Amino acid sequence: METKTVKYINVNGKLMDLSHPQVMGILNVTPDSFYAGSRQQTEKDIINRTSQIIEEGASIIDIGAYSSRPNAEHISPEEEMRRLRTGLEIINRYHPGCVVSVDTFRADVAQMCVEEYGVAIINDIAAGEMDPQMFGMIARLGVPYIIMHMQGTPQNMQMNPHYDNLLKEVFLYFSEKVQKLRDLGVKDIILDPGFGFGKTVEHNYQLMNHLEEFSLFELPLLVGISRKSMIYKLLGGTPKDALNGTTVLDTISLLKGADILRVHDVKAAVETVKIVQKMKDSAAF
């Protein structure tokens, strides 16, 4: 078996070892995210969801206040900040010290979250495309930065996604982004292929089939396929029915080099990580 490159990210001054894959639990403080089970808006619901994520074994909480599902409503920075303040205040009050990632594409929102609430990671679905100030802000804040590949915006990304050469275009996209970030002094960069963002079902499975090739970047790889349409459009049903499909694709992702799983169902993902690690550690694998 090939030896995997050891990867670390600096999280609030401590190194997080990604040689053992980490699980990131999703907390959406939105009224319209694609999976109804992820939407938490009342204080009680946010407390319960945050506690569940931690108790089930996730090492990172990813909080989002802007729904990025196809055709989602575009909200103002002020509304995004208001929602995030509510969620972050609750997290800090009930679970101080936990590692929090914020899902935002806006530089001013990222600044507020890091400087006022001690957020450890910024997760940007647009990789700086939707806010030209984001790269400079990340360099100034000095936090790990997740860059995702997306063709278009949440409002139009699924209208007619097209690629002449999917892998080549995604890899070129990341190589250019990584170089710009390195030039600015950003050290901790995490790649997210962007399953479901400006991609057909066929595009998504083509990416999955070549996932191990992302190792050429020698950077941590995040995979977020939890309950997405690439599962239920293929098998039938709705996001509610897509847990088994999610577990299968999470397993494949881990075997192909994923370092972080971003999921709705933390317990299932943690168990999947344990099983895959045992497989990799066994002499028979």
Average pLDDT over residues 187-203: 95
In the chain, what percentage of residues exceed pLDDT 90? 76
Assigned domain for 95 exists: yes
- Is 36 a residue whose pLDDT tops 60? no
Assigned domain for 125 exists: yes
Catalytic residue status for 278: no
The per-residue pLDDT for 32 is 55
| Token pair 């020698």 in the structure block, residue | 218
Catalytic residue among 44, 106, 262, 278: 262
Q: Which residues constitute the domain of residue 31?
A: 21-276
The per-residue pLDDT for 253 is 98
Assigned domain for 129 exists: yes
Assigned domain for 46 exists: yes
pTM: predicted TM-score of the whole model, two decimal places: 0.93
pLDDT digits (tens, 9 = 90+) for 53-77: 999 999 999 999 987 766 667 889 9
Assigned domain for 16 exists: no
Assigned domain for 12 exists: no
Confidence tier at 142 by pLDDT (50, 70, 90)? very high
Give the chain as a DSSP string.
-PPPPP-EEEETTEEEETTS-EEEEEEE--S--SSGGGB--SHHHHHHHHHHHHHTT-SEEEEE-S--STTPPP--HHHHHHHHHHHHHHHHHHSTT--EEEE---HHHHHHHHHHH---EEEETTTTSS-TTHHHHHHHHT--EEEE--SS-TTTTTSS---SSHHHHHHHHHHHHHHHHHHTT---EEEE--TTSS--HHHHHHHHHTGGGGGGG-S-BEE--TT-HHHHHHH-S-GGG-HHHHHHHHHHHHHTT--EEEES-HHHHHHHHHHHHHHHHSTT-
Average pLDDT over residues 216-243: 93
- Here the CATH number for the domain that contains residue 150 is 3.20.20.20
Assigned domain for 130 exists: yes
Count of domains forming the chain: 1
Assigned domain for 15 exists: no
Catalytic residue status for 82: no
Catalytic residue among 93, 228, 278, 280: 228
Structure tokens at 103: 């899902």
The per-residue pLDDT for 5 is 63
Average pLDDT, the chain: 91
More confident residue, 26 or 283: 26
State how far the Cα of 231 lies from the Cα of 229, in Å rounded to an integer: 5
The per-residue pLDDT for 2 is 46
